[in-house]
Structure 1
Amino acid sequence: MNDQLQLPTKKRWKVRYSVLLVLWLCWLFSFLDRMVITIALPFIGEDLNLNATSQGLLLSMFFAGYALFQIPGGMLSDKFGFRRVVSVAVVWWSIFTSLTGMIFSYPLMLLLRFVFGLGEACLPGGSYKAIATYFPSKQRGTATGIQSTVNTLGPALAAVVAAAIIGLFGWRVVFIVMGIPGLFIGIYIWLKFKDNPKDHPKIQMSELKELEEDEKGEDQSKTKPSVSFKELLKKPILWQMSLIWFFFDITFWGFTSWLPSYLINEKGLSLMDTGLYSALPYLVGTVAIVLGGYISDKGKGNRKWVFIPNALAGGIALFFMFQSSSLTMVILFQCLAAFFMFLAQGGFWALVVDSFPARIMASGSATVNCFGSIAGFISPFLMGYMIETSGSYNSSFIMMIIALAIASLVAITIKGKPKDETIKLSPELEV
């Protein structure tokens, strides 16, 4: 018979999901490696005889290196491909994570945290470039939201794991142990990843077709362009997003860096209770950040409106948190603050990834993230100084609330839909 039954084709695991999974692991360990110091900080301060300002500077030195190499790291990924850059970066920072536990000198530890930050700086641009390369536009918000769950799970796991290891073996062992997994992840990326989806041996034709259709929809040239970094710097949306992320990260890194110390010093919690309660807001945020990316995909033309109201709601929750005398209410409001802030963050990075073309995604996203890194340098150190001089955490909380309000005001200035704001290269840049 000529007519044959057409059996349904079996749904296969797509290559882009594997890429996202490995990127997720990279981000997870990047956050674990950088965040365990927030739990260890009181013990490092006691061991090395450091005041609050010196402890804040120790937190900030990571961000000095992280900010300095963000844009160069993104440009390297655009030029040489994300595979090589990300794999070397993961191995680099993993080595310096382990070395942190072997340092007995404060100046040397400051230097090591700076060099550690240089390595992690290459990850953001490279990972966002990978998402823009392997995922069609319609799924980039959700993919970015899933990847960004490490922004919540990382601190949560760091709080619990670090508290347990420090309680049993001391603060040095936790750094030595945390550096090991990244070595294997970096080697895997070098051996298995491909910069061009067409070169991946397991890529499906249906995936390539989606990407090709997406490229046509974005009116991209089939020839390889020569992209000028100056062209990128002329686009208003780049600076709008950079300012939004700067002020948002003033709050995020202030909240993340000093929350454990706040619970120990202000609320009198034990080490293990601090680990547990510090983890709660990030577990809540894990759901929120994926939800933010998903909602942003559903209302693609209005991605900024996922960010604005939730950032403001996060600031309101922070206000009630530091005004509360009851530990129960403090925990409740810190979870609410985290929920709204991470919901806003999921929407924001969906906007970023959907606004820059894939070929300059690493440079564009790295520039935005660079401003967040500068905020990460300023915020922990400034909060430490404010806490030491004022004798309380109140003024530092007010600073975080104001920063969220400013980020929301800047977000309002973004006009049009993401596709209207997407960077378009001038004709003379096409070859």
Structure 2
Amino acid sequence: MNDQLQEQPKKKWKVRYSVLLVLWLCWLFSFLDRMVITIALPFIGEDLNLNTTAQGLLLSMFFAGYALFQIPGGMLSDKFGFRRVVSVAIIWWSIFTSLTGFIFSYPLLLLLRFVFGLGEACLPGGSYKAIATYFPSKQRGTATGIQSTVNTLGPALAAITAAAIIGVFGWRVVFIVMGIPGLAIGIYIWLKFKDNPKDHPKMTKEELAELDEDVEEKASKKKKSDVSFKELLKKPILWQMALIWFFFDITFWGFTSWLPSYLINEKGLSLMDTGIFSALPYLVGTVAIVLGGYISDKVKVNRKWVFIPNALAGGVALYFMLQASSLTMVIVCQCLAAFFMFMAQGGFWALVVDSLPAKIMASGSATVNCFGSIAGFISPFLMGYMIQTSGSYNSSFIMMILALVVAALIALSISGKSKEETVTLSSELGAEAQ
């Protein structure tokens, strides 16, 4: 009896949970490393004498590299395995994060942000491939939602941490410090991760059986082996998801990149208050993004209905934020906007991960994420230009609202399928390959 009691805790914690935890840390530091610049931006602009357009370009250069290497990075993970690609990627971008603190030239800073983006571009495809490899289909939405909490916690922690460090040591020190933890994580992944769950020394027979018993995986196992990335590119649903993510990220990266500057310049907040109030929407979003993934698993056959209403509600909240006259209402509306947008995001990536074949998950998800990266390049720079030319944030807010509406309309065009039909894209591809 005592032996049974001792064995129970071991059964509850599975290898896939450890994999998810480390992937979560990778994403956390990827967001910390890329987002501290949004708090540092006014000080970088003052130090280097940059207008808002130049500051916007500095934000966008990361996404230029990030977008350029998304698909190649995903293809590398499919070919060589996510372990090697993700470990090298995090070490790469961590080095360039620290180097940012030593740059005194604007052109060199632009180049460094571009190269930094190249490294982070390998993470999305590799991490989604890891989830598709280690998690059965019924848990992928929840796993993706948990991983995606870094989309909220990352900016929140970056805002508070950067504000505290910048207030005492200046903006350069925050970059130097942030690059250090990623080096240790990258080495750990290289030494401990396995691309095939069967090769992992701590993988139990029960956990392997769960993967083998995955109904969708088992039903389409033979078909998936014939699916290629070239065939995937012919499927309309891939481009629908890519366009949805493009327009959604126009809003997400515009909101994330310029919120601190908006609070400082438009609402007159101090540096520390800006750090705290910038963090609030993302703390709220942490709950929302997990909830979105969880609900998506519950309504699996029509995951798009988690995305559509929440994306539209996020646009409504942004409109009221723009119209709000008091600081209290601004904070409330920005938290509501974040809640609905992150709920939509949790549902969306659950749809992506469950729709794409595991064999080419990295390439497929990287293609979708690439469009978001392109949006990340366009949005901060375009918003900076709009702010400079108009002298206000009004036009940029309208752009963000319209982008969410367009994303919801495109999601509406994705056809739902009944339980009797095969839901996944992989089975559709396999049917064509027969």
TM > 0.5 fold call: yes
What is the aligned partner in structure 2 of residue 338 from structure 1? 338
Which letter does structure 2 place at the counterpart of 1:23?
L
Give the distance between the partners of 1:46 and 1:272, measured in 2 at CA.
Answer: 18
In 1, are the aligned partners of 2:354 and 2:424 still within 8 Å (CA)? no
What is the aligned partner in structure 1 of residue 96 from structure 2? 96
Question: Could you tell me how far 1:421 is from its partner in structure 2?
Answer: 4.5
Question: Could you tell me how far 1:85 is from its partner in structure 2?
Answer: 0.2
Question: Could you tell me how far 1:223 is from its partner in structure 2?
Answer: 9.6
What is the aligned partner in structure 1 of residue 365 from structure 2? 365
Q: Does 1:106 align with 2:109?
A: no
What is the aligned partner in structure 1 of residue 310 from structure 2? 310
What is the aligned partner in structure 1 of residue 141 from structure 2? 141
**Helix, strand or coil at the partner of 1:89:** helix
Give the distance between the partners of 1:83 and 1:146, measured in 2 at CA.
Answer: 20
What is the aligned partner in structure 2 of residue 10 from structure 1? 8
In 1, are the aligned partners of 2:250 and 2:378 still within 8 Å (CA)? yes
Which letter does structure 1 place at the counterpart of 2:8?
K
Give the distance between the partners of 2:369 and 2:188, measured in 1 at CA.
Answer: 25
In 1, are the aligned partners of 2:140 and 2:350 still within 8 Å (CA)? yes
Residues 360-395 of structure 1, C-alpha deviation per residue, up to 9 Å, x if partnerless? 110110000000000000000000000000000000
Map of 1:165-184 to 2, 5 A cutoff? 165-184=165-184
Residues 208-255 of structure 1, C-alpha deviation per residue, up to 9 Å, x if partnerless? 001111166552336993653220100111001000000000000000
Question: Can you give the 5+ residue segments of structure 1 that lack an aligned partner in the other structure?
Answer: none
- Structure 1 residues 427, 321: closer, same or farther in 2, change over 3 A? closer
- Structure 1 residues 223, 324: closer, same or farther in 2, change over 3 A? closer
Map of 1:176-325 to 2, 5 A cutoff? 176-214=176-214, 217-221=217-221, 225=225, 227-325=227-325
Give the distance between the partners of 1:256 and 1:5, measured in 2 at CA.
Answer: 52
Question: Could you tell me how far 1:10 is from its partner in structure 2?
Answer: 1.3
Which letter does structure 1 place at the counterpart of 2:425?
T
**Helix, strand or coil at the partner of 1:104:** coil
What is the aligned partner in structure 2 of residue 60 from structure 1? 60
- Structure 1 residues 131, 185: closer, same or farther in 2, change over 3 A? same
In 2, are the aligned partners of 1:237 and 1:421 still within 8 Å (CA)? no
In 1, are the aligned partners of 2:318 and 2:333 still within 8 Å (CA)? yes
Which letter does structure 2 place at the counterpart of 1:422?
L
Which letter does structure 1 place at the counterpart of 2:258?
W
- Could you state the TM-score of these two structures normalised by the residue count of structure 2? 0.95
Residues 132-174 of structure 1, C-alpha deviation per residue, up to 9 Å, x if partnerless? 0000000000000000000000000000000000000000000
What is the aligned partner in structure 2 of residue 20 from structure 1? 20
Give the distance between the partners of 2:224 and 2:313, measured in 1 at CA.
Answer: 44
Give the distance between the partners of 1:10 and 1:218, measured in 2 at CA.
Answer: 28
In 2, are the aligned partners of 1:296 and 1:306 still within 8 Å (CA)? yes
Question: Could you tell me how far 1:301 is from its partner in structure 2?
Answer: 1.1
Higher alpha-carbon deviation: 221-230 or 124-133: 221-230
Question: Could you tell me how far 1:333 is from its partner in structure 2?
Answer: 0.2
What is the aligned partner in structure 2 of residue 394 from structure 1? 394
Identify the match of residue 426 of structure 2 among 413, 423, 429: 423
**Helix, strand or coil at the partner of 1:151:** helix
- Could you state the TM-score of these two structures normalised by the residue count of structure 1? 0.96
Give the distance between the partners of 2:170 and 2:133, measured in 1 at CA.
Answer: 43
Give the distance between the partners of 2:198 and 2:362, measured in 1 at CA.
Answer: 19
Residues 31-64 of structure 1, C-alpha deviation per residue, up to 9 Å, x if partnerless? 0000000000000000000000000000000000
Give the distance between the partners of 1:32 and 1:186, measured in 2 at CA.
Answer: 15
**Helix, strand or coil at the partner of 1:423:** helix
Residues 251-308 of structure 1, C-alpha deviation per residue, up to 9 Å, x if partnerless? 0000000000000000000000000000000000000000000111111112110000
What is the aligned partner in structure 2 of residue 79 from structure 1? 79
In 2, are the aligned partners of 1:225 and 1:429 still within 8 Å (CA)? no
Q: Please, what is the CA RMSD of the aligned residues?
A: 1.8
Give the distance between the partners of 2:304 and 2:216, measured in 1 at CA.
Answer: 25
What is the aligned partner in structure 2 of residue 152 from structure 1? 152
Give the distance between the partners of 1:237 and 1:222, measured in 2 at CA.
Answer: 22
Map of 1:42-61 to 2, 5 A cutoff? 42-61=42-61
Give the distance between the partners of 1:393 and 1:79, measured in 2 at CA.
Answer: 45
Give the distance between the partners of 1:244 and 1:216, measured in 2 at CA.
Answer: 25
What is the aligned partner in structure 1 of residue 383 from structure 2? 383
Give the distance between the partners of 2:9 and 2:398, measured in 1 at CA.
Answer: 51
Question: Could you tell me how far 1:428 is from its partner in structure 2?
Answer: 8.8
What is the aligned partner in structure 2 of residue 328 from structure 1? 328
Which letter does structure 1 place at the counterpart of 2:392?
S
In 1, are the aligned partners of 2:223 and 2:433 still within 8 Å (CA)? no
In 1, are the aligned partners of 2:223 and 2:430 still within 8 Å (CA)? no
**Helix, strand or coil at the partner of 1:420:** coil
Q: Does 1:163 align with 2:163?
A: yes
Give the distance between the partners of 2:417 and 2:2, measured in 1 at CA.
Answer: 45
Question: Can you give the 5+ residue segments of structure 2 that lack an aligned partner in the other structure?
Answer: none
Q: Does 1:29 align with 2:22?
A: no
- Structure 1 residues 427, 34: closer, same or farther in 2, change over 3 A? same
Give the distance between the partners of 1:417 and 1:214, measured in 2 at CA.
Answer: 19
